[in-house]
Amino acid sequence: MSIHFPPLIAPSVLSADFSRMAEEVAAVERAGADWLHLDVMDGHFVPNLSFGAQLIKALRPQSGLVFDVHLMMAPVDPYLEMFAQAGADHIHVHIEAGPHTHRTLQHIRALGVKPGVALCPATPAQAVEEVLDLVDVILVMTVNPGFGGQKFLTSQLDKIRTLRRMAEATGRDIRIGVDGGVDVRTAALATEAGADMLVAGTSVYGQPDYERAIAGLRGAARQAV
């Protein structure tokens, strides 16, 4: 088994106070976050805008956290180099963002960044089968991407189980991340199904005590069987 326990906790700055972003990033680093999740939205692939590579570049020297960049963009290829140069450690692209995900993932690797593939709720696990040899992370969306604070879709749990089996079959070390509506209750469900990375926006940045929130999510995780 290459599944890791406890899962990594990746607070999403989408729910942080944008007027104090550097402080908000430092605060979750002090509070025990493993990765920092950065949601980039283009107003086209998803019906919302967030921020771009400039913010990531500005935050990079201020933090030692792994920068886990989730690109909700189409097209995405013209911008990969920009995000790599801004300091992304991981770049997730959506399988739904275009017909050439295979090439996109190879390009990300060639830029020296760890590639991840994200799946919207309507997309079946099998859609990523042919690119599993190219990814370090699979990001399962448990909400329709575009907004923080939505309800976790339990319909995605079977997909997490299937993807965990598919990831194990490759013999490679692939993390399965879950993104959207993660709280202490759903963290238990997701990890039990095989997730070993949890993105958390509202359930960290919406709480008064970040350290407690992060430890709470980690503590709620269950070992997948």
Q: How far is the CB of 183 from ligand DX5 (least distance, A)?
A: 8
Q: CA nearest 31: which of 216, 199, 155, 194?
A: 216
Helix (H) or strand (E) holding 35: strand 35-41
Q: Is 39 a known active-site residue?
A: yes
Choosing from 34, 68, 136, 179, the catalytic residue is: 179
Q: Which of 148, 177, 194, 216 binds ligand DX5 (CB under 6 A)?
A: 148
Q: Fill in the per-residue mask, 80 to 119: x = in contact with ligand DX5 (CB under 6 A), - = not in contact.
A: ----------------------------------------
Q: Which of 34, 39, 68, 136 is catalytic?
A: 39
| Positive or negative: CA dihedral 82, 204, 174, 102 | negative
196 is catalytic: no
The smaller minimum CB distance to ligand DX5, of residues 120 and 134, is found at 120
Beta bridge partners of 40: 71
Closer to Zn ion by CB, 40 or 174: give it. 40
| Residue count, binding to ligand DX5 (CB under 6 A) | 22
User: Looking at residue 156, what DSSP letter applies?
Assistant: G
Nearest to 180 by CA among 213, 208, 212, 157: 157
CA–CA dist 163, 157 (Å, integer): 10
Out of 42, 68, 179, 183, name the contact with Zn ion by CB under 5 A.
179
| Binding residue (CB under 6 A) for ligand DX5 from 180, 193, 197, 217 | 180
Q: Which stretch binds Zn ion (CB under 5 A): 2-10, 70-78, 164-172, 211-219?
A: 70-78
Pair 129, 170: CB distance under 8 Å: no
Residue nearest to ligand DX5 (CB): 201
Whichever of 87 and 201 has its CB closer to ligand DX5, that residue is: 201
Q: Which residues of 38-70 are buried (b: 16+ CB within 10 A; e: fewer)?
A: bbbbbeebbeeebbbbebbeebbeebebbbbbb
150 binds ligand DX5 (CB under 6 A): yes
> Does residue 201 belong to the site contacting ligand DX5 (CB under 6 A)?
yes
Secondary structure of residue 211 in the 3-state scheme:
helix
Residues that bind Zn ion (CB under 5 A): 39, 70, 179
